[in-house]
Every structure is written in structure tokens, then in C-alpha cells.
Amino acid sequence: MFANLLRYRGYRYLWWGLGSIALGWAIYVSQGDGEPPNGGTWQGYVLGTWAALLIVWLTFLGYRKRSYRSGLGTTQGWTSAHVYLGLAVWVLATLHSGVQFGANVHTLAYVLMSIVILSGLFGLHAYLNYPSRLAQNRGGRNRRELFAELYELNRRGLELAGRCAPDVQTAVRSSIQLTRIGGGVWEQLSGRDRSAYDSLTQGRRPNPDQAAVIDEVAARITRADRRDEVTSLQELLAVLCRRQTVLRRLREDVRLNAWLSAWLYLHVPLTFATLAALVAHIVSTFIYW
Amino acid sequence: MRLLIRESTRSADGAVSHHEREADVRELTFGSAPDCAIQLIGPGIARRHGTLRPDSSGLAVECAHGCTVTVNGAEQRRGRLAFGESFTLAGHTVEARRPPPGFDAAVGLTAARTIDPAALETAYLTDLGQTGLSRRRAAWIGLILVLLVGLVLPWLLPRELVPWWTSDLVWSSGPLHPAHAVAIGDDCSACHVSPFQRVQDAQCTACHTAVADHAVPTLAAHVGLDTTRCASCHKEHNEPVHLTVDSDALCTDCHGAPAWPDNRLASVAGFSSDDHPPFSADLLHSEALPAGTGFAYRWRLASSGLADAIDRSNLRFPHDVHLDPARVQDLASGEALGCVSCHELSADDEHFVPVTMERHCRACHDLKFDRQAPDRELPHGNPAEVLLTMEGHFMRLYADPSSGEPARPRRRLPDRAAGDIERCDGPAHVCARDRTAREAEAQFTRRGCVTCHEVAVHDSADLLGRYQVVPVRLTPDFFAAARFDHRAHLTRRDATGDTLCLDCHPATTSTSSADVLMPDIAQCVACHGDHRQTDRVPLHCIDCHAFHPDSVTRDEQWE
């Protein structure tokens, strides 16, 4: 679907975008040498109006994507148009500006629009690349199944730890209790693991990737003085290692999903900020005509 | 808070086992998050679902906003559990137990019979939407903030109260021309007087008082210039600063096909021999009007094609003679005269310092009139003064024998020329008057004044009324409607000195001052062309022609 998004109907909207840029450029160069190219010539007004209408239309896509019953084209087609014409509007707005920038509301509109477009480009990159990485990471399962497996491993780990000495019980129980998956914005995006566990001898210790608790349990095997404890510890170690693997997949799943949606937290709000700046740009232009 | 948790687990065969554990917690929280004192996994359980507060008779339950527990069959957000009572949540049962000594609180926990293991996800924040980020809220904040700073605050708040980022300066689309910036600072209202109204001419003419219109009002109305605002052409706030329109369309839109009635201007579509009319010279013409015993002269400016142009300056001056090294040399240096001997470029680099008798001619052309008095010269510029000076001179000569000159009858010496001795036997004043009349006749008709001037001889008995020198006026600007930078054209790869001048002004072959030595368009287009000709130095219309003339073009037809 995502590759088709760009190739939709034989690159139909790529040609639309290129056509828009070519026409916009022709209008731009017709401004001649009478004054520097700017938004105040008739060509500038045409380019500006065109770009503004395109921005409003591109914003409408956000609404269109939620209206699946609409008979107006396919979502895939609209998204393809959104990508190509969104890039074209960048060129049209630049031509409209005459590449004159300053500390003013007009440049604010341009900058906001540029951030929206750049974030959209990242979103396109994410949509094209991340789904396959997600599928590969999940190994044919979905997130629910991974969490269900984690739940069972937690339960089994607690059960096995219950058969062991108190220090192992404390370490394993706390490591499960203090396991972190996801978390705040930065933790989700970076995949940073702030898990910890409580060691009876050393207090609370960081436990990224569950390595510390695994090391402690592994080291404990050699100090076990009963055969059944050794068996329990070995089983426990196997559970903790399986758990480590599942946690890695889950953490990567959360990270990729976070990036897959993070760009929208810039793209959508700044789209509305751009619309507001566009209103301010147009109204202020005519207040001080 | 020291907490005792008694966990009851029911095995598949129905047997119940109990497990007690202790915990030190700051608060007795329950929910799906791993750091809750009591972690409960299941559908509908929030990460921080609620809090239990122990007191002497049981536990007070308080759930987070939007969360409930079931107490005695009723869903409640807040409630009380006496010891032995319990609440249920997604199949889990939490019972308030009397804490044994050494504990602040004790709860019994019976896990749900079936737990959806996938519900473990609710224990973690795995979606950016759970982190407090909200696209909708951010969109509203961005929308309102931008509208406030970009539109509302600059409009509503007085300038003196606000920093620049909430003032109307954020509406400025670019810097002002430095001169305007110095004059009005950042006071937008100096030009933008009323909202939603274009800048009016009154704001421009308040300072620019001396700018003349392109055409008189009636003609301007014919071609729509009366409704053209100053700012239609003079655009501010551009980078680079560019206040003047230099596009040829500014001119050719109208002059390409002049459409006003009784037009006398040729059409101009560009700068080439085909697109631009031949040059016309603006020449001064004198018109003699009867006045007293002679004439008064009125000067008018008239345009004439270069091919037919005759300069009627009333001055007799052959350029070829003066530029011929064999015939004329500089008295002081003995070298040939050059163009710059008489033509000195003025400060505007276009025009020349006016040529005058005193500065440019008199060094060679003295005004001596009596060989016996080589120090005496006639005044220049006033014929009456000339006559009175001569008369006074000769009166003294004849009346005063001791003046050193032979006024009375004297012997003719063989080595003197015949003209050196004037004999006169009459009274001194008669002799002087006769001598003056003869000398005047010579000066005004044979040598002296008539060398350079046109002289009108009237049939008047009064000597003062007999000779009239036709006044001289040199045309100050042959192409008054055009600008030309002489200095810029004084640098050439293959020419220096007079050659630079003579290439355009063929003075060495000019025998008469009637010749108008101005180049026609062919001379210009050899090097220059409009922007369509890439092999020429490009010229815009306004490089030579000012849109705003020094004064409004007068044309009786449109007055």
C-alpha cells in the first residue's frame, strides 16, 4: 500500500506536482525585471492564492482520511496527491515569497509550513520503511501476543523464584515489578530502558535489558547448595532470558511505533498553526495594503 | 506505610492457596502500573486506578477521575470498606483486612479466575498518546498563539505598550528604503493611514513636494495615469530595495502604441533603430519682434529632426577652423585647441559649463579698436556701451593734445601705415564723433563684433540706434528629454582624448555653428540595445528618460 502510495495510478500526482511547479515557475519568471519578484505583483498574488488554496485542501485530507464512506476518490489516491502536491506547495510558496524573508508574520507562515512539510516527509519515510521493520521485529506475532507471552513469563518467573532463596525472590520479583517498557515521550522514542531491580545486598540497581538480574541469578547458580534449587535457578534463568528477548521485541515495537506517530505531533498541530499564520499573513497584508 | 498483602490463588482443581508478602509503600495505590502497591491486570483497569487509605475501622477507597470499583454490587468512585468488606475490579477482589501488629494496613487479594494476559500492556505507556501529548490540544494552542501574536495583539494593543513581536512590525513584509527608514522610523501609520486602504499619494507628496507629474492632468486622465497611485510603481518593503520601476513596460505600455487623441509622439517599442524613433534636437529659436528703433527677441524651444536641425544660436563659430592646428593654436602654449579647451563637463556629468566670451574666447579674440591705444578694449555684451566707450576714447584723443597720441594734424611718417594717422581739422567733438562712426561701422559690419555675431544695421541717424547685435543663446541641452552620462563614455578601449568626443560629435568637419553636432540613434545602438538584445549593453527606457520630468510637460493642446 505504501509503495503504491507514491506510484498511484502511474505516478499521476507526481506529474500533477511537477506540472504545478512548472506552471508556477513560468508565472514567477514572467514577473520581469521591473521590481524584485515578490508576493505583491499580480503573479505573486496568483502564486500566493494558489498555494493558500492548496494548503487548505491538503489540510482537508486529514478530515478526508476519516471519511471512509466518501465517494470522492480513494484514501490512497488522496494521500498520494497529498504527498506530491504538498511538496509542490513548498515550491509555489517559495516562488510567491520571492525568497524574501524576515522577522515577520509572513515568514512565520512560511517557516511553519516548511516544518509541516519536513515532518510530512519524515512521516512518508516512516510509512514506507517502518511497517516492514515492525513486522520483522515482532517475528510474526502481534503486540498483544508478545504481552501475553510476557505475562506468562512473569508468572512463571515469580513461581520459580518462589522456590528459591529470599535474595533470588526479591531480585526476580523486583525486576519484574521494575521492568519498564515505553514510558514518557523520550523513553518511547529512544527505546531507553530504565528498568531496575532490588538486590538484597546492593539495594536498587539499574537493570537495562534485564542483564543485571540475569547475571545475578546466573551467578547464584554456582552458589546454590541444593540440587533442586539449582534446577529451579536454571529454569528461572531460562525464563528470564526468554523474557529478555520478549522485552527487547516489545521495546523496539514501542520505539518504532512511537516514531511512526511522532511526526504527526508536529505535522497536525503545526498545520493548524500554519493555517492561523496564513490568515494573519493575508489579513495583515490587506490591513497595511 | 507498612503493608501486608495476602494473595489467594485458586488452582485448577479449586484448591485455594495463600501467600503473604510485606511491602513498604508511600501510598496504598492500586492499578495496572508495576509501581502500584497492588498491581491488578485486566480490562478497564487504569494504570493508577485508585488509592486506599487505612484508618482505624477499615479502608477508604478513592478512584482516579473516570475510574470506578464495585462495592457491594454498586460501581462507585469513592467508598468505604470496613474490615472484612471488599471491592471487585475486573474480576479481582480486594479485601480490607485488619492489620496485624507492626503493619499500617493489610489487604487480601484474590486474583480474577481468568486474566487476559495481553492486558499486561495496560501496565505500561506504550503509545505517545498516553504520555500527555495531544495533537488536538497542541493544534489549538498553536492556532490561538499564532493568531494572537500575528494578528490580534498587533491590532489591539497600542504600540508603546508592546515589544516588537506583538507590534504591527511583525506585519512588515520587508525593510524600508533606508531614506524612508530614517525619515519615519518604524511608524507604519506614517504611510498606512487607514486599515484595508492602500497607501495614498497624499502620504508621499507630504514629503515629496517637488515631484512633477508625467503629464498634465487632462492628458493623464486620457491614459489612466490620474488613477495610478505613486505606490503602483514605487514599491516599498522589497529586498533588495528597489523603489523605481525600471521595466521598459512602464513606458512601452503607453508609448508602444500612443492612443491619445492628436498624438504627436512616435511609437517606441524598445531601443533599436527599428523600435525607437530617430532623435530630435531641442533647439532655441529667436523670434524678432519690433521694439523701438530695432527689435526685441523672444526665444522659443522647438524640436527638430536631427537631419534637418539648424542651430540658430545667432553665433558665428566654425568648429573646423578652431580645431585645425595649422590655423588656431592656444596663445599661451602654442598647441592646438582641443574639445576641452572650451567644453568643460559640469558636475552632473551630462551637461557642460556654458561657453562664455570672457572665459573661452577673449584670450584670442580681444576687443581692441584703436591701434594707437593697444590697452583699450571695448566692453562685451552691450552695443550702446561699446559706442559710448569709443566715443569717449576718441573725444579725449582729439580734445586733449597731451594725451600722448597724435590727435591734431601731424606729419605723416613714412614707416607708418596709412590707417595709423587720422587727420581731422574740425572741432574735437566733431572729429571724435566722425571717428567713432567710422570705427563703429568697421566693428559692427567688417571686423570685431561681426566676426562672431549677427548684426542688424538699421537706417537710423542716431548712431546708438543704428547697429543691433542679435543676441546669442546657446542651446543648453539638445536632448532635454534624455539623460546621458558623458563621464561613463569617456572610458574606451580604443580611444582617448578628443577622439572620444569626435566619434559622436563631428566637429572637425563642421564649418558653421548652424550645424547641430549631436549623434543620432545609430551611434547609440552600435553599442546599446534593450534587454532583448543580448549582444548589446542593455538600456532601460528610464536609463535615458525620466518618468517624472523636471516640470510638467506643457502642451497647449492639453492645458
Q: pLDDT tens-digit profile of B411-467?
A: 444 444 444 446 777 888 888 899 999 999 999 999 889 999 999 888 888 888 889
For the record, the C-alpha cell of B438 comes out as: 567710422
Q: pLDDT tens-digit profile of A191-236?
A: 899 999 998 888 899 999 999 999 999 998 888 878 888 888 999 9
Contacting residues of B for A281, CB less than 8 Å apart: 150
Q: Between A227-262 and A264-287, two packed helices, what is the crossing angle to 10 degrees?
A: 20
For the record, the C-alpha cell of A148 comes out as: 501475553
Q: In this model, does residue A165 exceed pLDDT 50?
A: yes
How many residues appear in chain B? 559
Task: Check if the beta carbon of residue A232 is closer than 8 Å to that of residue A243.
Answer: no
Print the SS3 string covering B26-66: CCEEEECCCCCCEECCCCCCCCCCEEEEEECCEEEEEECCC
| Residues sharing a CB contact under 8 Å with residue B536, sequence separation 6 or more, in sequence order | B525, B527, B528, B529
Query: Which amino acid, one-letter code, is at A70?
Result: S
Residue A245: CA count within 13 A, CB half-sphere: 9
Q: pLDDT grade, residue B12 (50/70/90)?
A: low
How many angstroms separate the CA atoms of A58 and A270, rounded?
A: 13
**Contact between A285 and B173 using a beta-carbon 8 Å cutoff:** yes
Q: β-strand A203-206 against A196-199: which pairing, if any?
A: antiparallel
Q: Could you tell me which chain A residue has the CA closest to the CA of B147?
A: A276
Question: Cis peptide leading into B240, omega within 30 of 0?
Answer: yes
CA-to-CA dists, residue B455 to B172, B300, B315, B365, B366, angstroms? 68, 20, 10, 17, 18
Q: β-strand B16-24 against B28-31: which pairing, if any?
A: unpaired
A-B C-beta contacts closer than 8 Å: 184
Please tell me the predicted confidence (pLDDT) of residue B15.
Answer: 77
- Compute the nearest-CA separation of B522 from chain A (Å): 26
How many angstroms separate the CA atoms of B154 and B150, rounded?
A: 7
When CB atoms are compared, the residue of B131, B147, B240 closest to A279 is B147
Please tell me the predicted confidence (pLDDT) of residue B453.
Answer: 93
Structure pTM?
0.76
Please tell me the predicted confidence (pLDDT) of residue B407.
Answer: 44
Task: Check if the beta carbon of residue A39 is closer than 8 Å to that of residue B239.
Answer: no
Please tell me the predicted confidence (pLDDT) of residue B297.
Answer: 84
When CB atoms are compared, the residue of A32, A36, A185 closest to B128 is A185
CB contact, 8 Å: B151 with chain A?
Answer: yes
How many angstroms separate the CA atoms of B60 and B80, rounded?
A: 4
Task: Check if the beta carbon of residue B260 is closer than 8 Å to that of residue B455.
Answer: no
Q: pLDDT grade, residue B95 (50/70/90)?
A: very high
* Segment B32-37 mean pLDDT: 85
Q: In this model, does residue B406 exceed pLDDT 50?
A: no
Query: Which residues 37-66 of B have a C-beta within 8 angstroms of A?
Result: 39, 41
Question: A199 has which bridge partners?
Answer: A203
Q: In this model, does residue A118 exceed pLDDT 90?
A: yes
Q: pLDDT grade, residue B533 (50/70/90)?
A: confident
When CB atoms are compared, the residue of B127, B155, B531 closest to A33 is B531
For the record, the C-alpha cell of B332 comes out as: 599661451
Of the candidates B511, B516, B513, B536, the one whose C-alpha atom is nearest the C-alpha of residue B525 is B536
What ranges make up the beta strands (E) of A139-182?
A: none
How many angstroms separate the CA atoms of B450 and B483, rounded?
A: 35
**Contact between A177 and B34 using a beta-carbon 8 Å cutoff:** yes
Query: Which residues 215-254 of B have a C-beta within 8 angstroms of A?
Result: 235, 238-240, 242, 245-247, 249-250
**Contact between A182 and B125 using a beta-carbon 8 Å cutoff:** yes
When CB atoms are compared, the residue of B125, B188, B245 closest to A35 is B245
